[in-house]
Amino acid sequence: MWRMFMLSNSALAKLKAVLLLDLVIVGLAAGGYFYIQNILEAVVVPSPPGPKPAEFVFGNLTITPSRVEVNRPVTIKVDVANVGEEAGTSLLTLMINDVVEENRTVLLDGGNSTTVVFVVVRGTAGTYTVKVGGLTGTFEVYEPPTSQPQPIPAEFTIYGLTIIPDEGWVNETVRISFFVRNVGGESGSVSVDLTIRNSTATLYLRTITVSLPAGGVSTESVTFTPNSTGTYSVIVERVGGAYLTLTGSFTIVPTGFHTLTISASTFNLEFKLNGSTKKVPFSALLPVGTYLIEMPPTSPDGKAVFLNWADGYKNPTRTINLQSRLSLFAYYSGGSSCPSLFVWNGSSYVYVAEISNHGWLGYMNYITGDPDWPIAYWRNNPWDYLKLDKSQLGLVNGTFFEMILSQRWNEIFYLDAVYLVVVDHPADVDVYSTGVEQYLSPEYMGKIYTVSRTPLSPVAAYNEKGEDVLHCILYRDGVFTPGVNGLQSPSWNNITWNRLTIDLGNLSGAQQIKLIVTGKVDWGSPEDYTAWIEKFFAEDVPAGTQITPPPYMEILDKNGNWIMVPWERQFPLPPDVNPRTWVVELTGLFPPDVERYVIRISNFWNVTFDYIGVDVAPQKPVVIREIYPNAILYQEFYSPSRAYGNFTRYGDVTPLILSYDDEFVIGRQGDAVRLLFPVGDLPPPAEGMERSYFLFVACWFKDEAGNWGYGFDFTVEPLPFKDMSGFPYPLDKESYPYELHWEYLTTYNTRVIKPPEDAGDV
């Protein structure tokens, strides 16, 4: 569709002035690829004096606010200018009370300037001295005065509807339970109607009156005995106008039968049920009894490997006794993402996760209306902040943690940076990091949050169908909210959104509001993705129409209106395959006059949630250390991949992953990076502190056309870079900074894979 140049014309012109180049120019109808094969010798050419070298100056230090409560952010800004004529880099060090807080590498062209922003938080009152770029300033941190919140009248919420069993037989008793909570500040009473209906009539109606003190909780339950098969609906609502009505259902099936459902994290997967071949997703009403399930150890194409069942069972073959409705889910690695992470646990390598989902290159944004460049693409964000299970980390020779990033899926990866983050925190709290998106503020990404080990629970939750899903998010139990994928929408202008509305309760007076979220995304199949894209070219679609809209979060104001959260504070997409836990900072987003703290999260993709908790405890002090690894690139297994171009040569690649600088380890399917993190000299945590580990990774990746790839060839070029507008980018307007990284390109990326004979433009 578009031709790509390895080097811009301006870059080639400058190189010709000092080098004798052996150029092989492959002519194409509308452009060409330029390959620099050999540098023969230097040619001395008289030239005028060179440009003035890069020189950096710093000024205009601002600290906002200069006085702040403990555990509240302070923003530090400093202007940086390159007064030279050549491009260059400068290491900018921020020191707080003469201790290094953070290092930033600033890259600027000659004559350009920028503003560098740091955000710091201090949990101890006092005066702090800031030093950065030869400039000095201070800020003061103080303890806020304590005050007692004024009690509010009795206010009730109903939540946690459970129906046991959700699938039963005629004349079998069904128990229906729910919670009533007084979230107000005074005692009071409330009446609730519980109704049971079938498709034709109301079968049961009971009014329940509950009296509770302030903060009190009551569990209410009723029993019902159905006398016929079919689906029964349950409605629980507050008499006199419910705030949120709870709905649910149960099914009565023929006696002696129950439903068996089998799903997997990969697609096009066949398995055997009592020797008969079936395909996931599978769901059927079967006679009760014993069944043998045989899942394949790998997917049909060999790209995904069986890991475990959702209930922890490790063998792909298992026997089950079907005595009630049963849903089983099989996890496979390598389903649709960048390198798979494995860690050494002391005896074997254990699969952990797919990393850097948001480094996907080619993620479409909107229709431009320009026939020469019809699609605008997201730049996306290559970073991933993965919390590690420390029980899985085993020492190698008592000195190292060993990890492997293995490229199982047929992709090209660009690994830019990776390091271990060691966090010592008070033992009475847990720690998590954040999600990522291109448009989120850096202040809210990659931060380590302390959260209570006993967070609050939402008081109500329902989905886009009005179904009560609170029970799905109260515990990390593998029971996810039901989802829907926007790829299955009727048309580009009639999208089916995957929505979750959550009532967080009354959080007035909270110093901080943080969501603790466990969830994952199911992208669907590449066939469905391609079919969805084709809809945008089958008819006249208005310019600006988004192809795969990003998730967005809204807040309910006191008048019942939904207010969009600013984009820099929006809700991120989670990774795929294994569920992840992350924090979403909500502090300061709610209008000051609301009494109910309600949010609505909308997703185009099939995002499902296993747990959502609410933490209102202030941030506690933590000690953070960064440990950089030794890294070796090697071939783990042979691959017939059609990916081609100049890949990174095998061997030591440690210098390439020590900083986020557009100098990548570039690999393809079958390649792996072995990482050794030296942790033997770490001091033990201080008394009362506990240690947690995170892996921070920056990695881009590219898929083959027709298999999530679109708009480019399956080749290394063009290279991504931090400041690109999107990927692919218009080559007549943007370029990877080849001249700045020429030594890296010619030293490391010397493993040349030739293109397939039938390779061509997409």
**Would you state the pLDDT for residue 455?**
93
In the chain, the percentage of residues whose pLDDT exceeds 70 is 89
Which backbone phi and psi does 527 adopt, to 5 degrees?
Answer: -65, -45
**Sequence-ordered alpha helix ranges (H) in 175-249:** none
Domains in the chain: ranges and CATH: 1-50 (no CATH), 56-142 (2.60.40.10), 156-252 (2.60.40.10), 257-332 (2.60.40), 344-429+622-762 (no CATH), 449-621 (2.60.120)
pLDDT: which is higher, 280 or 228: 228
Dist CA 691 CA 167 (whole Å): 44
**Would you state the pLDDT for residue 404?**
94
**Would you state the pLDDT for residue 11?**
40
**Would you state the pLDDT for residue 30?**
36
DSSP state of 663: -
**Would you state the pLDDT for residue 147?**
56
- Read off the tokens for 114: 């920028």
Check pLDDT > 70 for residue 42: no
Q: Which residues of 719-754 are buried (b: 16+ CB within 10 A; e: fewer)?
A: bbbeebebbbbebeebbbbbebbeebbeebbebeee
User: 687: Cβ–Cβ under 8 A, 6 or more apart, which residues?
Assistant: none
**Would you state the pLDDT for residue 149?**
57
**Would you state the pLDDT for residue 499?**
93
Dist CA 705 CA 406 (whole Å): 21
**Average pLDDT score over residue span 197-211:** 93
In 565-664, which ranges are E strands?
580-585, 598-603, 606-615, 623-627, 630-635, 645-647, 651-652
- Read off the tokens for 355: 């990393």
pLDDT: which is higher, 21 or 745: 745
**Average pLDDT score over residue span 662-690:** 94
Query: What is the distance, to the nearest Å, from the Cα of residue 470 to the centroid of all Cα atoms in its chain?
Result: 22
**Average pLDDT score over residue span 139-165:** 79
Q: Which of 293-307, 603-617, 687-701, 741-755 has the lowest mean pLDDT?
A: 293-307
pTM attached to this predicted model: 0.62
Which of 173, 175, 213 is closest to 194 using CA atoms?
A: 175
**Average pLDDT score over residue span 269-275:** 93
Check pLDDT > 80 for residue 8: no
Question: How does residue 150 score in pLDDT terms, banded at 50, 70 and 90?
Answer: low
pLDDT: which is higher, 719 or 641: 719
In the chain, the percentage of residues whose pLDDT exceeds 90 is 47
**Would you state the pLDDT for residue 10?**
38
The answer to whether 567 touches 439, Cβ cutoff 8 Å, is: yes
**Would you state the pLDDT for residue 430?**
96
Dist CA 149 CA 168 (whole Å): 48
**Would you state the pLDDT for residue 15?**
33
Q: Which residues of 328-349 are buried (b: 16+ CB within 10 A; e: fewer)?
A: bbbbbbbbbbbbbbbbbeeeee
The answer to whether 246 touches 178, Cβ cutoff 8 Å, is: yes
